[in-house]
């Protein structure tokens, strides 16, 4: 058996996304014999020490680092994972790549297309392998749908439509925001509704249906101000400005000629009957029938994280097998198969998805419509961005499927 990959992890604290979703699959067979955690790094020394202690074993002492430079320079590491807030992606990932280490980086892999392109070019220059946290292609239901489409089960694809809704009452991109998540409400920080929920969906859609050709978009900020709340939902007293859209609507075409219509909705109260909020409804229509994908999960808009709960093909429900694995775990397994053999997205692929998002922003920012007076302080102030159709250039977005 080959030696396990020696891993470092930037952003792996004793709690949070990395500790609940990204790292746990590596602790269980079969992945536990292929990865060995040797170092962690967080900006808080106490947090780093606590995480190192948590993941140390009788046979392995995990080192605690406090800067990306220090963990990246550890000669005993083969791969370093970066799971930090989006504004810090570029700095941390750059240090890892420059040190010649292979890289896992959480989506959206930097703020905007420019930062993602920089990382992709640097990774190519240094000759390192990369894995990006776009896990939608690992979804069992989506792989089944891809196979059905490729086998012609519903004929030639004519159109696809999707609507999804972010959970409430304190879901991201709405009138309230949890303390510590304020960066989600600043467009320049690169973690908007379009970047996160949209990016994961475009990964799924292009994986199944192929590349995007044209885009026309509307992005609306329906809450110019957001109240910061504590974990229990009580107000902190702080109110911050918002320029990150809470509603994004996209229409356009795929390279195949199929029409797309997509709508992401946030800033809404989730009713007690979650299904009534339509967390996710995705329909693919063909010349011979339709595929309908649904989920009642409150986090269903994040398709890279949640498996759909229902799948219908030509009106008949199709069972979704449960293999006991997570999308994150399946992605690590694909990475282990090696470059060119495993089915996983790298930084070059991330640039393709970011090119779609960039085209949407350029479309949406073509014209500003402001129903309320400039400088209005009310939370009800609404402004919308809408524009003409943008063609996604082939040079920026080659065929999405590897």
For 320-335, the pLDDT digits (tens) are: 988 889 999 999 999 9
Per-residue confidence band for 277, with pLDDT thresholds at 50, 70 and 90: confident
Query: pLDDT digits over 129-150, tens only?
Result: 999 999 999 999 999 999 999 9
Q: Any idea where the domains of the chain sit in the sequence?
A: 5-134, 137-327
CA distance 289 to 291: 7
Predicted confidence (pLDDT) at residue 302 exceeds the cutoff of 70:
yes
* pLDDT for position 87: 97
Classify burial at 98, counting beta carbons within 10 Å of its beta carbon; exposed 0-12, middle 13-18, buried 19 or more: middle
Predicted confidence (pLDDT) at residue 275 exceeds the cutoff of 80:
no
**pTM (2 d.p.):** 0.91
Per-residue confidence band for 1, with pLDDT thresholds at 50, 70 and 90: low
Query: pLDDT digits over 174-184, tens only?
Result: 999 999 999 99
Measured N-to-C along each axis, helices 347-364 and 112-126 cross at an angle, to the nearest 10 degrees, of: 160
* pLDDT for position 289: 98
Cα dihedral sign, 344-349-351-354: negative
When the pLDDT of each residue in the chain is averaged and rounded to a whole number, the result is: 90
Same CATH topology for 5-134 and 137-327: the answer is no
* pLDDT for position 273: 77
Predicted confidence (pLDDT) at residue 229 exceeds the cutoff of 90:
yes
Predicted confidence (pLDDT) at residue 156 exceeds the cutoff of 90:
yes
Per-residue confidence band for 231, with pLDDT thresholds at 50, 70 and 90: very high
* pLDDT for position 298: 87
Per-residue confidence band for 186, with pLDDT thresholds at 50, 70 and 90: very high
Measured between alpha carbons, how far is residue 239 from residues 223, 229, 231 in Å? 11, 9, 16
Kindly state the average pLDDT of the residues 292-302. Answer: 93
CA distance 64 to 39: 6
Q: What is the largest CA-CA distance in the chain?
A: 68
Predicted confidence (pLDDT) at residue 39 exceeds the cutoff of 60:
yes
* pLDDT for position 222: 94
* pLDDT for position 16: 83
Predicted confidence (pLDDT) at residue 206 exceeds the cutoff of 80:
yes
Kindly state the average pLDDT of the residues 248-262. Answer: 97
Predicted confidence (pLDDT) at residue 220 exceeds the cutoff of 70:
yes
User: 5-134 is classed in which CATH architecture?
Assistant: 3-Layer(aba) Sandwich (3.40)
Per-residue confidence band for 388, with pLDDT thresholds at 50, 70 and 90: low
Q: Supply the CATH classification number for the domain 137-327.
A: 3.30.360.10
* pLDDT for position 368: 31
Query: pLDDT digits over 352-383, tens only?
Result: 999 999 999 999 988 332 333 333 333 333 33
């Amino acid at each position: 058996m080959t030696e396990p990959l020696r891993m470092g992890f930037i952003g792996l604290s004793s709690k949070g996304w990395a500790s609940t979703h990204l790292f746990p699959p590596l602790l269980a067979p079969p992945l536990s014999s292929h990865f060995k955690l040797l170092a962690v790094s967080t900006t808080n020394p106490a947090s780093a020490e606590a995480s190192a202690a948590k993941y140390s074993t009788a046979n392995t002492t995990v080192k605690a680092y406090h800067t990306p430079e220090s963990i990246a320079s550890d000669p005993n590491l083969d791969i370093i994972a970066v799971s930090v807030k989006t504004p810090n992606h570029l700095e941390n990932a750059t240090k890892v790549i420059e040190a010649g280490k292979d890289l896992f980086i959480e989506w959206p892999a930097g703020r905007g297309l420019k930062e993602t392109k920089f990382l992709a070019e640097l990774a190519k220059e240094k000759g390192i392998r990369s894995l990006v946290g776009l896990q939608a292609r690992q979804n069992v239901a989506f792989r089944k749908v891809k196979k059905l489409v490729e086998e012609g089960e519903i004929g030639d694809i004519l159109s696809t439509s999707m609507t999804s809704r972010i959970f409430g009452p304190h879901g991201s991109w709405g009138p309230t925001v949890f303390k510590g998540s304020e960066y989600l409400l600043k467009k320049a920080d690169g973690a908007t509704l379009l970047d996160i929920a949209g990016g994961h969906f475009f990964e799924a859609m292009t994986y199944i249906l192929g590349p995007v050709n044209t885009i026309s978009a509307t992005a609306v900020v329906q809450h110019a101000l957001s109240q910061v709340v504590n974990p229990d939902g009580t107000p902190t007293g702080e109110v911050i400005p918002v320029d990150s859209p809470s509603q994004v609507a996209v229409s356009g075409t795929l390279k195949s000629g199929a029409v797309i219509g997509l709508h992401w909705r946030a800033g809404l109260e989730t009713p007690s009957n979650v299904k009534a909020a339509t967390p996710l409804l995705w329909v693919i229509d063909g010349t011979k029938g339709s595929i309908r994908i649904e989920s009642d999960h409150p986090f269903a808009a994040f398709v890279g994280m949640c498996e759909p709960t229902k799948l219908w093909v030509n009106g008949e429900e199709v069972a979704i097998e449960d293999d006991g694995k997570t999308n994150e775990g399946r992605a690590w397994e694909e990475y282990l198969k090696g470059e060119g053999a495993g089915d996983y997205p790298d930084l070059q692929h991330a640039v393709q998805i970011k090119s779609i998002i960039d085209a949407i922003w350029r479309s949406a920012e073509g014209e500003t419509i402001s129903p309320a007076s400039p400088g209005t302080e009310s939370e009800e102030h609404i402004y919308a961005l809408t524009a003409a159709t943008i063609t996604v250039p082939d040079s920026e977005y080659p065929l999405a499927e590897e």
